[in-house]
A and B are shown apart, each in its own frame.
Chain A
């Protein structure tokens, strides 16, 4: 768990991606833009679900406000993740914003992500400072 604490409108952000460089970029940008008080990442979908479930059950304060989810990961991809996430969401007690964060510019993936009610939007990597500002203004103002 990598954390950052700064004054920001978003309390907690979670990144689920097997690509560590991507996670480094996300965290660094969040830090630079004061996007979230806390930001952490998981390298596997299963790990992310376990983290969320644990927060729901034991640490409600740690339930993230924003989730960035990669599509293509070993063992469990974004779509498989979203099937289980859907079951968990009602128990979180807040309107979690989940963004698909993918290197894919492939329309099929973008369209598919739009079919999920649980997905707020689709962002193409890399996650930039501009992306973060937009999210802040649009969803947390």
Chain B
């Protein structure tokens, strides 16, 4: 089998060419043997392309020259034997010899034989020399190896080729194929999206051959070039040795090919999973090519390799697009979605987190790489549990995960979601995927809800108590009035004066109770906060004290005050005044009879409050016995004292209305200390 390169056809010496030259010329150009014709004067008149191919002698260098000058290598042989034999009309096909040509591509010698050319009249008018390569088994083997080498090279080009270089690989394969088969053009067509047309995606051209790629885009293969399309769809290769000899039904194909000056063509389908996806082909433009059958085999192999490479490129491009699209989508969420794995050193790594989350939490975009970074982001109290759960997920369980983590400005955010094992890339038992939502707002809302619920519970409890107290007290007066009404003698036969007097007493009691309740309701009114303004506790305390001038004189009570830590509070003045009056009154009322009353007012600051202390050395209270009753309505703990049991309840209500509180400590018989907590103050 020879490697052939067709060169410009010789056109000289026409007068000596037999009449049947029209038939003979195409044959001459398509045989593997090199053919050289000389006339009876041993002047070379014609040579074919194979001659030039085999000997590497250009036709223009030998035509019209004497054979001895033109081809010195054969001259000796010819001089010795040929002229006589040829001219005597002897066929000497048996006379052959091997000879080497200095410039020939192949260093293997060529077999040369000679035959005489005899005219119709029986005269020898010239001779033909045939040059052919000896078809030794060694040579066949060498050729086969060379072809397989090409396939192997193309194949290995692709195996290690990164996706982004696949196009270059295809280009290189086209060039290799083109050069080995002396094609003028090699190319790849790929089906366009939609599959209705195909486009020339890669093209290689021999020197001096005009590229066609730009004219061969979106070719409607199926509708217009049916002859070719139906073969390719059946995944058959097509070999067209001579375009002009295509059958009539392939007229459209013929016209297309001829419009590109194509004389010979060989194409093989590209397929993806058994479906036609494009084709690989080569053309001969300058002349008809005489490609061996083996060329088609090589082309098919190359087609399979290129199919595979293109499929890989498509798959990887798709994958990369899907990956990008996925990230784009995930980037839109404010959630923390991540892939966490243990690297070769056994350290945790996160390779990527969504951009919006990163932005929302004040971090620079980019990977949160190291285990240290990762650990530093999680609240120390939550870290151990989080790591344990991640480990559990790595072992194959989907687990809930919740932790607090920090923004770049160390603000705490609550993250909540789940993690589950990620298998892939050989990371089984070493990787998890997770999706966590920032639930901080929800957590805060929950906290607010809890607070609100607690406040409602307190409110409810108070309402309950209020109803109970109303039931006991207000109704008590009403019940009395009802009872007295029944005792009233309408006939006037008995003395009604006692009953009437008691009716009036009951009405007065009812009025007082209603006033008390009105006061409670007033204090409970949340709008009391609006009354708050900056006040001086000491000044108001002094005013309140004035109301007890007589009592203080009578009891000889002594006051020690230190308002230094609470020079100013934001509080409704009327409330503060009422509270002071209640506490002074309480201390004087429950003074211990055997000692001089001492009242100590102090102040200190706490984390979230200004605290005022109010202590006395009075009779004290049994807080264990009266637990929970000190600051409730209508509680009287001591025998023999006047009072409605409402003052401390109202004090509590006033403090609580302002978000503060009141607490008490007491030792019976010794002392009582009230603590008033004023919150929401400026520091």
Chain A residues in the interface with B (C-beta under 8 A): 19, 21-22, 24-25, 28-29, 44, 46, 71-72, 74-75, 102-106, 108-109, 124-129
Cβ B471 vs Cβ A25 within 8 A: no
Cβ A75 vs Cβ B637 within 8 A: yes
Give the contacts of B620-675 with A (CB-CB under 8 A).
634, 636-639, 645
Cβ A128 vs Cβ B483 within 8 A: yes
Cβ contacts under 8 Å, A103 to chain B: 471-473, 475-476, 478-479
Cβ contacts under 8 Å, A109 to chain B: 468, 471
Identity of the chain B residue whose Cβ is nearest the Cβ of A106 in the assembled complex: B471
Cβ contacts under 8 Å, A72 to chain B: 472-473, 634
Cβ B480 vs Cβ A102 within 8 A: no
Cβ contacts under 8 Å, B479 to chain A: 22, 103, 124-126
Q: What 11 additional pairs, Cβ within 8 angstroms, besides A75-B636, A103-B472?
A: A24-B498, A25-B480, A25-B483, A46-B639, A71-B472, A103-B471, A103-B473, A103-B475, A126-B479, A126-B480, A129-B486
Given A104-B468, A104-B475, A74 and B636 contact (CB-CB distance below 8 Å): yes
| A74, A75, A124, most chain B CB atoms within 10 A | A74
Given A75-B637, A125-B479, A126-B479, A24 and B502 contact (CB-CB distance below 8 Å): yes
Contact flags (1/0) for B479-521 with A, using CB distance below 8 Å? Answer: 1101110110000000000100010011000000000000000
| Distance A72 CA – B476 CA, assembled complex (angstroms) | 10
Identity of the chain B residue whose Cβ is nearest the Cβ of A73 in the assembled complex: B636
| Distance A125 CA – B473 CA, assembled complex (angstroms) | 12
Q: A64 CB to closest chain B CB, in angstroms? A: 21
Given A25-B480, A105-B475, A125-B479, A74 and B502 contact (CB-CB distance below 8 Å): no
Cβ contacts under 8 Å, A74 to chain B: 636, 639, 645
- Contact sample, A vs B, 8 pairs, CB 8 Å cutoff: A21-B484, A29-B487, A72-B634, A106-B472, A125-B476, A125-B479, A126-B486, A129-B486
Cβ contacts under 8 Å, B482 to chain A: 125-126
Q: How many residues of B contact A (CB 8 A)?
A: 25
Cβ contacts under 8 Å, B502 to chain A: 21, 24
CB of B145 within 8 Å of the partner chain:
no
Given A75-B638, A102-B472, A108-B468, A21 and B480 contact (CB-CB distance below 8 Å): yes
| B467, B471, B487, most chain A CB atoms within 10 A | B471
Identity of the chain A residue whose Cβ is nearest the Cβ of B478 in the assembled complex: A103
Cβ contacts under 8 Å, A108 to chain B: 468
Q: B461 CB to closest chain A CB, in angstroms? A: 13
Q: A59 CB to closest chain B CB, in angstroms? A: 25
Residue from the list B468, B480, B486 in contact with A22, Cβ < 8 A? B480
Cβ contacts under 8 Å, B476 to chain A: 19, 22, 103, 125
Cβ contacts under 8 Å, B486 to chain A: 25, 29, 126, 128-129
| Distance A74 CA – B473 CA, assembled complex (angstroms) | 12
Cβ contacts under 8 Å, A24 to chain B: 498, 502
Main secondary structure of the interface of B (DSSP, over half): helix
| Distance A67 CA – B274 CA, assembled complex (angstroms) | 106
| Distance A24 CA – B480 CA, assembled complex (angstroms) | 9
Cβ A106 vs Cβ B483 within 8 A: no
Cβ contacts under 8 Å, A19 to chain B: 476, 480
Cβ contacts under 8 Å, B638 to chain A: 75
Cβ contacts under 8 Å, B475 to chain A: 103-105, 125
Residue from the list B467, B468, B484, B505 in contact with A25, Cβ < 8 A? B484
Q: B495 CB to closest chain A CB, in angstroms? A: 12
Cβ B480 vs Cβ A105 within 8 A: no
Q: A101 CB to closest chain B CB, in angstroms? A: 10
Cβ contacts under 8 Å, B506 to chain A: 21
Q: B483 CB to closest chain A CB, in angstroms? A: 3
Q: A104 CB to closest chain B CB, in angstroms? A: 4
Identity of the chain A residue whose Cβ is nearest the Cβ of B479 in the assembled complex: A125
| B480, B639, B645, most chain A CB atoms within 10 A | B480
Cβ contacts under 8 Å, B487 to chain A: 25, 28-29
Identity of the chain A residue whose Cβ is nearest the Cβ of B639 in the assembled complex: A75
Cβ contacts under 8 Å, A105 to chain B: 471, 475
| Distance A138 CA – B406 CA, assembled complex (angstroms) | 76
Cβ contacts under 8 Å, B637 to chain A: 75
Q: B440 CB to closest chain A CB, in angstroms? A: 42
Cβ contacts under 8 Å, A71 to chain B: 472
| Distance A25 CA – B477 CA, assembled complex (angstroms) | 12
Cβ contacts under 8 Å, A29 to chain B: 483, 486-487
| Distance A61 CA – B643 CA, assembled complex (angstroms) | 38
| Distance A21 CA – B483 CA, assembled complex (angstroms) | 9
Q: A118 CB to closest chain B CB, in angstroms? A: 21
| Distance A128 CA – B482 CA, assembled complex (angstroms) | 9
Cβ contacts under 8 Å, A129 to chain B: 486
Cβ contacts under 8 Å, B505 to chain A: 21
Residue from the list A22, A44, A46, A104 in contact with B483, Cβ < 8 A? A22
Q: A113 CB to closest chain B CB, in angstroms? A: 14
Given A72-B472, A75-B636, A106 and B467 contact (CB-CB distance below 8 Å): yes
Identity of the chain A residue whose Cβ is nearest the Cβ of B475 in the assembled complex: A103
Cβ contacts under 8 Å, B636 to chain A: 74-75
| Distance A22 CA – B505 CA, assembled complex (angstroms) | 12
Q: A45 CB to closest chain B CB, in angstroms? A: 11
| B467, B482, B486, B498, most chain A CB atoms within 10 A | B486
| Distance A125 CA – B475 CA, assembled complex (angstroms) | 9
| Distance A44 CA – B640 CA, assembled complex (angstroms) | 11
| A24, A25, A106, most chain B CB atoms within 10 A | A25
| Distance A69 CA – B634 CA, assembled complex (angstroms) | 19
The 7 closest A-B CB pairs, nearest first, are A126-B483, A125-B479, A25-B483, A103-B476, A74-B636, A103-B475, A21-B480
Cβ contacts under 8 Å, A46 to chain B: 639
Identity of the chain A residue whose Cβ is nearest the Cβ of B634 in the assembled complex: A72
Cβ contacts under 8 Å, B480 to chain A: 19, 21-22, 25, 125-126
Cβ contacts under 8 Å, B478 to chain A: 103
Given A22-B479, A75-B636, A104 and B471 contact (CB-CB distance below 8 Å): yes
Q: A43 CB to closest chain B CB, in angstroms? A: 11
Q: B299 CB to closest chain A CB, in angstroms? A: 100
Identity of the chain B residue whose Cβ is nearest the Cβ of A128 in the assembled complex: B486
| Distance A125 CA – B479 CA, assembled complex (angstroms) | 5
| Distance A105 CA – B473 CA, assembled complex (angstroms) | 11
Identity of the chain B residue whose Cβ is nearest the Cβ of A75 in the assembled complex: B639
Cβ contacts under 8 Å, B472 to chain A: 71-72, 102-104, 106
Cβ contacts under 8 Å, A128 to chain B: 483, 486
Cβ contacts under 8 Å, B639 to chain A: 44, 46, 74-75
